[in-house]
Structure 1
Amino acid sequence: MSEFENVTAPPPPPPSGSAPQEDRTMALVAHLLGIFTGFIGCLVIWLINKDDASKAFVTDQAKEALNFQITVAIAFVISWILMFVLIGFLLLPAVGIANLVLCILAGIKANNGEAYRYPFALRLIK
């Protein structure tokens, strides 16, 4: 089975009970930091919480945010390159607006305790 067959994995089953408010807030911060810091903020949150089994929700959401921000960074680079043929001038704002909207939606869902999956993201970090 190829690793690319299941590109959009379903969210993991929720842990026993709902995630604590502190974990939901950290997941919210991981998603919203992507707007301001790109992939760096998500990476820091993921690295801090990845080894703690009690922080499974935070780790999952930080990893999801990190994968999406890496995808957005790649899209920004491609849009910048395409500016030389003028289509990049349309793509660059579209990528920025999509990043803003999807990060806010993900933050709201994560704060409600729901595992959010971005509609399109390269799953580079597993």
Structure 2
Amino acid sequence: MDLELNSTVSQDSKNLAVLVWVGSIFFPLLSGLLFYLLKSDDAFVAAHAKEALNWGITTVILGFVCLVLVIILIGLLGFWLLGLCSFVFCVLGALSAAKGKSFRTPFGIRLLK
């Protein structure tokens, strides 16, 4: 994402991008999808929504993997780590959006480009 032009990003766009990430803490797929569909005309918000949606999809996939691994008790640790990583990445995404910078989750699967 090359949208790091802080002077050209409006405060409304920054606020909406922050809202995408904060919403992703509670609704991983819904928040990113709603903002991606509704604010696709704003490149900054759409880029953050796309990244949040990619992270939400990754979280759901890893959640199913952890669910399978609960059988051998490793999944419990996996759920805990997934929740912690999801919270941290969403907070980092919100902080980057507030500064008018792009953000990419380190372990996210890039299904939407």
Cα distance in 2 between the residues matched to 1:105 and 1:43: 19
The match for 2:65 among 78, 94, 104 is 78
Q: Quick check: which has more Rg, 1 or 2?
A: 1
The aligned amino acid for 1:17 is S
Cα distance in 1 between the residues matched to 2:96 and 2:6: 18
Equivalent residue for 2:8? 18
CA distance change for structure 1 residues 45 and 88 in 2, over 3 Å: closer, same or farther?
Answer: same
8 Å Cα contact 2:28/2:55 also seen in 1: no
Q: Which stretches in structure 1 are left out of the alignment for 5+ residues?
A: 1-10
Q: How many residues align?
A: 113
Cα distance in 2 between the residues matched to 1:106 and 1:38: 13
CA RMSD of the aligned region, Å?
A: 1.3
Q: Which stretches in structure 2 are left out of the alignment for 5+ residues?
A: none
Provide TM-score, normalisation by structure 1. 0.84
The aligned amino acid for 1:37 is F
Q: Percent identity?
A: 32
